[in-house]
Each structure stands twice: as C-alpha cells, then as structure tokens.
Amino acid sequence: MPMPIPPQLQIPVGATENGTITLDVAAGDHVHKYQKLAQLQMSAQGRTCIPVHAPTSGIVSAIEEAYVADHSQQKQVCIVLTTDGLDTPLPLEPPVDYKQLTCEELVTAIRRAGIVGMGGAGFPAADKIDAAAHQAVDLLIINAAECEPYISADEALIRERAEGVVTGAEILQRASSARRCVIAIESSKPDAIQALEQAIEAQSHISGSCELILVASKYPAGSEKQLIQSVSGIEIPSGQLPAQHGVLVHNVGSSYAVFQALAQGKPCISRITTLSGQALKTPKNFEALIGCSVEFLFDICGIDKSLSHKTVLGGSLMGLQLPSDNAAVGKTTNCLIAAGSAELAPSADIQACIRCGFCADACPVRLLPQQLLAFSKTANNSQLLKHGLMDCIECGACDYVCPSHIPLVSIYKDSKAAIEARQINHERSEVWQQRFQYHQYRIKKEKDRAPTRTKAVPAKKPVAESGEAGVSVSSNGDEQEFFSKEKASREIAAAVARVKARRAGSKTATSEQDKSK
C-alpha cells in the first residue's frame, strides 16, 4: 500500500568514497516530484552514474551526511527535503514503444531513471547489462525468490503488479538481447505464482516470451549463483561472473522499476519495503518513498517501543542491526524488522569449536567454515583466499547450525575487510612507488642535462674573466652557476700552487743549511 508523505525526506546520493557526487540543487531550492537532484559518478568514463530524483515536492533544507538503511554501514551524502504536502510533479515524458528502441536506447533510458539492483547489492542495472554486452546472453533470470524469513516485499509486489513485472522483464530481455527469459519464484507462494501465470498468459498474446519456473523453497535459493544452478544447471566457478557463461540475473523489483521508467516515464523514487517484527502492531508492506526515515514507517505501523529491542535491516539470517531509527530508506531497503526483546535474541556464550562439521554440511557454497575460522584467527590471508573466503555469500547458515554459537559470518566479514584494506594499501603503495621512481628519473635527467649546457659556455668565457660584473650580465642561471664554480676552482688551484711553492722553498733552504754544515 502507498504511504503518506512524511514531513521530511533524507534522500541518499551516495558515499564520497564511492565516486564523484554532482549536485543539481542547493539549500533553499524548491523542487518538484521527479526532478533530478544529483548523481553519483562511479567511474572516470562517466558510464557508471546513478542519478537521484525527488520523490515529492518541497524545499531543500540541507545537504549533509546521514546513515542510510543499506548494507554499506556508513554515512552517505543526503539531500534533506522539507516536503510541502502538495506532491507537485514535473510533467512526465510520454510513454515510449520500447519495441521500437534499440538496445543502446533502452540501456540509456534505464540509466537515466537511476535503477539499481533492488535485491540488496545495489549495482546499477544499466551497467550490469553493459557488462554483458560483449557476451552472448543466452538466459535472463528475473529473481523473485526471497527465501529468507520475514521478507515478503517481492511477493507483495508480484501479487499486486504482476503485469508490470512481466513487461519489465521483456524490456530487460530486449535490452540485453537475451534469447530466453525466465521468472524464478519459490513453489511456496501460490498467490504470487497465480498472478504471474495470468500476467504471462495475457502478455503472450502480444509478444511475451517469458517463462515461469518454480524453485524449491530452500534457503538460500535466492542467492544469485545458487539460483542459476537451480534454474539452468550451470555452476558458476569461483572468480567468474554469470555473464561469462551467458546468464544475466535481475531482481524482480528492478524489473518493475524498468517498467515504470519505459512504459510510464517515471524515475526510481520508491520501492516496496517489508515492515515486520514483534514490536509492530500492524506489520505490512509499504511502497516507501526513497529517503523517508525508518522511524516514520514504524510509527505508521504502530510501534510498541516498550517491546522494541533492536532494528534489523534485511531478514533474520543475513540482516544487520541499524545504528539508529533515523536512518533513511534507500533503493535497496527491502525489509525492516522492529525486533522485540524475545525476538532475534542475542546468541548464547561463545564456546570453543568442537569440529562437529555441521557448518560444512550447511554451507551452500561447499566451503570449509572451520578451516576459514582457523585461518581468520591467525590472519593467514593467503590460505583464506586459497580456501575461497571471497566466495562466502554470508548467508548465516553456518552461524545458525553452530552448537558452539561462534559468530562465523562476523569473523569472515572482518577478514574480508582486512584483505580488502591490505589490497587497497598495496595498490596505493605501487602508485607511490611509481611516483617516487619518476621523481628520481626527473632528477637524474636534470643532472644529465647539466654537462651539455656547460659545453656551450666557453664562448662567453672572456666576459666572465673580465670580473664579477661579467657574471651578473648573463641572464642564464646555469651559466652563472658555472662561472662561479670555475672561479672557485681557479682560487683553489692558486692556493694549492702557493702551498706547493712554500713547501718547495722550505725544502731548498733546509738542503742549503745541510751543505754549509
């Protein structure tokens, strides 16, 4: 259901560490709904850019850093919009016939709308298509499998707007030139399945080539590589991308956002978000405006703060605790849990690993969690990489089954962060080393040039020998330095000659005295 307009929005633009932020508005400006406010450019070529649009009308009151309800866990630059309650929109571009557009034109329209992967990763949808442009895409998978407890945003979207999801899938298929398009959903969602079947049947009379595939309701079926293997049987090797094997995956929320952008001319200004938890009186799914606060959504659902223990972003297994309820909803905020004190309770005391092997049996990526734990404790980064730490999808299955209550995923996250930080420092060190070597090369080059300059100086030697004024006449600093050095050399030579003469004279006098004796 749609939400009321909040009195204030904190619209996330992005973190300055992730790229260059270009603002199109300033504090005090009045903006309209759908108006472009800023963009985050994540590459020097300008291809990876994420524009941000106003979800409603109002006045920009500030531009500041604030926490966002996403998995970055860092403050981002946000445009604070004081809403006027009028929701005055800009005129939208007229709907276009996407069937008449080229692949490049479709990708450009998707990029202008600011659409990202709404399943959690937040990677720009247009860039994902571009990355697969030089590959022959055989299969496009629309991921509608959300198997983690508490989350039902995608299911609610499909139940209410299945036709838009199917149309968006067809647009993505055309943009990526995929031969086949599949919508994958869990078999445990009968209402959503029925809505999709009806939408696909209705679209098939026009053009549609989408298929519906049911996958087992088993965690973590919604993970990208696991879903690809379930649907196609293709196993993506470690270190490789699905596009290298002719497969492209988009979230169902991204598919609907593409439909809005192409068929309705609307940029991405809202998303479906699940509000759940023991502390909420009426948990539900809202079409939340980008930038509204978590606290505002909880107040709509009627939060009992006496029961509220902590706020979790995401599901109960892969979710993380938010630092504050004032965090703003972003494009990847799919679920918010107001957990009670008896809900998602902290785990028991950590004990030593008993090497039971339950974690290895539960790992969907077939890693060896207890080996990774041992290497993490000793900070053995080479062995961590060799044993596939970077392939860990942080699903939390190993945490859930561990009888010793060891926070394995948290430990793996810290190890990943340490490895990434070390890699960044190594890259910076290489850059600094290159700069130092170039600096040394320039110094050597300047020294090598000095003898070449002095060879042409003897023609002006009479001027220098005429006195100190001859040196000051020259406007060349190198010649002045040469003449001053030459004068010093002459003075030293004269001093040495005097010392030699004095010594020779003393020796002669001594020999004459010896003869007289």
Lowest mean pLDDT among 35-44, 70-79, 259-268, 482-491: 482-491
| Shared domain check, 482 and 451 | no
| Shared domain check, 367 and 258 | no
- Dihedral angle over CA of 450, 452, 456, 460, nearest 10: 10
> Is the model's pTM score more than 0.75?
yes
| Shared domain check, 155 and 119 | yes
Written as six digits, the tokens of 303 are: 């939060």
Please, which residues bridge with residue 28 across strands? none
Number of structural domains the chain divides into: 3
Across 349-356, average pLDDT: 92
| Shared domain check, 162 and 238 | yes
The CB-side HSE value for 304 (13 A sphere, CA atoms) comes to 13
Residue 408 makes CB contacts below 8 A (sequence gap 6+) with 359, 369, 372, 373, 398, 399, 402
- pLDDT averaged over every residue in the chain: 86
Given 216, 238, 265, the domain boundary residue is: 265
pLDDT at 136: 84
Written as six digits, the tokens of 4 are: 């009321």
Given 209, 241, 265, the domain boundary residue is: 265
Q: What is the DSSP code (8-state) at residue 244?
A: G
Does some domain include residue 476?
Answer: yes
Cis bond upstream, residue 220 (ω within 30): yes
Q: Which of 250, 221, 224, 220 is nearest to 235 (CA)?
A: 224
d(CA 315, CA 334) in angstroms, rounded, equals 9
Residue 269 has pLDDT above 80, yes or no: yes
d(CA 139, CA 484) in angstroms, rounded, equals 79
d(CA 490, CA 206) in angstroms, rounded, equals 99
Q: What is the DSSP code (8-state) at residue 92?
A: P
pLDDT in tens, 186-224: 999 999 999 999 999 988 765 557 899 999 988 888 899
Does some domain include residue 11?
Answer: no
Query: Do residues 277 and 337 touch, judged by C-beta distance below 8 A?
Result: yes
Does some domain include residue 48?
Answer: no
| Shared domain check, 219 and 119 | yes
d(CA 382, CA 89) in angstroms, rounded, equals 55
Residue 297 has pLDDT above 60, yes or no: yes
| Shared domain check, 227 and 152 | yes
Q: Using DSSP, state whether 39 is helix, strand or coil.
A: strand
Query: Do residues 38 and 52 touch, judged by C-beta distance below 8 A?
Result: yes
Q: Position 131: which residue type?
A: A
Long-range contacts of 453-460 (CB under 8 A, 24+ apart): 453/478, 453/479, 453/482, 454/478, 454/482, 457/482, 457/483
Residue 327 has pLDDT above 50, yes or no: yes
pLDDT at 277: 92
Given 197, 232, 265, the domain boundary residue is: 265
Written as six digits, the tokens of 218 are: 């088993």
Residue 456 has pLDDT above 60, yes or no: no
Place 465 in a pLDDT band, splitting at 50, 70 and 90: very low
**Quick one: which H or E segment has residue 235?**
none
Share of the chain above pLDDT 90, in %: 61
| Shared domain check, 208 and 126 | yes
Does some domain include residue 401?
Answer: yes
d(CA 119, CA 257) in angstroms, rounded, equals 12
Does some domain include residue 194?
Answer: yes
pLDDT at 119: 84
| Shared domain check, 249 and 105 | yes
Residue 508 has pLDDT above 70, yes or no: no
pLDDT at 474: 42
Does some domain include residue 332?
Answer: no
| Shared domain check, 464 and 358 | no
Does some domain include residue 226?
Answer: yes
Written as six digits, the tokens of 10 are: 């904190």
d(CA 149, CA 318) in angstroms, rounded, equals 10
Residue 440 belongs to what domain range?
348-455
Does some domain include residue 418?
Answer: yes
d(CA 183, CA 143) in angstroms, rounded, equals 6
pLDDT at 303: 92
Across 95-102, average pLDDT: 85
Q: Using DSSP, state whether 131 is helix, strand or coil.
A: helix
| Shared domain check, 125 and 253 | yes
Share of the chain above pLDDT 70, in %: 88
Residue 466 has pLDDT above 60, yes or no: no
Across 131-159, average pLDDT: 90
Q: What's the alpha-carbon Rg for the chain, to the nearest Å?
A: 35
Across 392-402, average pLDDT: 92
Helix runs in 264-345, H state only: 294-301
| Range with top average pLDDT, 143-152, 209-218, 289-298 | 289-298
> Pairing state of beta strands 210-215 and 320-321?
unpaired
Written as six digits, the tokens of 429 are: 């060190």
Residue 166 has pLDDT above 90, yes or no: yes
pLDDT in tens, 358-394: 999 999 999 999 999 999 999 999 999 999 999 999 9
d(CA 198, CA 123) in angstroms, rounded, equals 30
d(CA 399, CA 273) in angstroms, rounded, equals 26
Q: Which of 235, 78, 96 is nearest to 171 (CA)?
A: 96
d(CA 168, CA 160) in angstroms, rounded, equals 15
Residue 516 has pLDDT above 60, yes or no: no
| Shared domain check, 111 and 235 | yes
| Shared domain check, 408 and 398 | yes
Q: Position 465: which residue type?
A: E
